[in-house]
Amino acid sequence: MPVISSSFVSPLWFPSRHVQTILPALLPRRHHYSPVRERLELPDGDFLDLDWFRSGADRLAILSHGLEGNSRNGYMRGMADALHADGWDVLAWNYRGCSGEMNRLLRYYHAGDTGDLRLLIGRAAQTYARIAVVGFSLGGNITLKYLGEAPPHPAVVSGVAVAAAVDLQACVRRLDRHADNWLYRQLFLKSLCARIEAKAQLFPGQLDLAPLNRIRGIEEYDDLYAAPIHGFRGAADYYARSSSRQFIPAIQIPTLLLSARNDPFLTAECFPTAEAEANPHFTLEAPDSGGHLGFLDFQRGIAPWTERRVVEFLRSF
């Protein structure tokens, strides 16, 4: 299953990568299932907030969100609805500090942090015979890294990454240096810097806030805060060790990477064609359009095509 042609076609009147990215996040959708929230206490004294969609199935899909997202983002709720309707129980989890309540430790989450996902899978495997992992954007990178950095839990049968930033440095530099990405960059920085301000109040004297107002890019933020807080030597070390592309050759279960060629966040480095051609377990599907987590074709109202495609892929296994 190397590089495959995609069935996704964006309407001719819907061509802009930015419209394809922004409009799906703004359109109101009615969700058919309501989650049950669970707080999971962690061995290190921290916690995770989990949203469960249960119907007593023997298979579970675990959904991982994007940068500064949460379990109740539209793309997470839509995918949860689609999978739940197809007979899956679904777990949509929040990274540390992303559920609306700040986590207890100085650390929070980062793009290569697979430890919490690994813990959740091990815990869920006590109940579910089959587990699929599905990640979006930053969560897609975490998902692919988990699948390739070490053998996954035997209960994990398949994986999907949507719009995954598999080369973190290339993606961050695209966000930082392309003028047409200014809005996304500012939104991310506003949220990330507010997180550091909140951490500084919780941990007096442990963070230097002096540079915070001078930060103009995500790479600068990562170098000053995200990397050292999480044990990296700097942004370059963080990106090199956390990018999932290097782990794709080792993936040994059926896995799909689904990304649009016109995604404003992704560069050519995020379309690992050679790895797909060499690994029979890894599929790359890259339609020409779709934006970042957009993929509206309006064939079923405003439900993104990705929901149908992910359900179809997971059904195959």
Summarize pLDDT for 288-307 with one digit per residue, the tens.
999 999 999 998 888 999 99
Q: Is 243 a catalytic residue?
A: no
Choosing from 137, 243, 244, 289, which is the catalytic residue? 137
Choosing from 263, 281, 289, 297, which is the catalytic residue? 263
Choosing from 110, 289, 292, 297, which is the catalytic residue? 292
Q: Is 263 a catalytic residue?
A: yes
Q: Which of 230, 206, 268, 221 is nearest to 95 (CA)?
A: 230
Using the predicted structure, report yes or no on whether residue 1 has a pLDDT greater than 80: no
pLDDT in tens, 88-101: 999 999 999 999 99
Mean pLDDT on 47-76: 97
Which pLDDT does position 28 carry in this prediction?
Answer: 87
pLDDT in tens, 160-210: 999 999 999 999 999 999 999 999 999 999 999 999 999 999 999 999 999
Using the predicted structure, report yes or no on whether residue 136 has a pLDDT greater than 70: yes
pLDDT in tens, 233-291: 999 999 999 999 999 999 999 999 999 999 999 999 999 999 999 999 999 999 999 99
The domain defined by 3-167+245-315 carries CATH number 1.10.40.60: no
Mean pLDDT on 142-153: 98
The domain segmentation of the chain, as residue ranges, is 3-167+245-315, 168-242
Which pLDDT does position 12 carry in this prediction?
Answer: 81
pLDDT in tens, 10-57: 888 787 899 999 998 998 888 888 999 999 999 999 999 999 999 999
Share of the chain above pLDDT 90, in %: 90
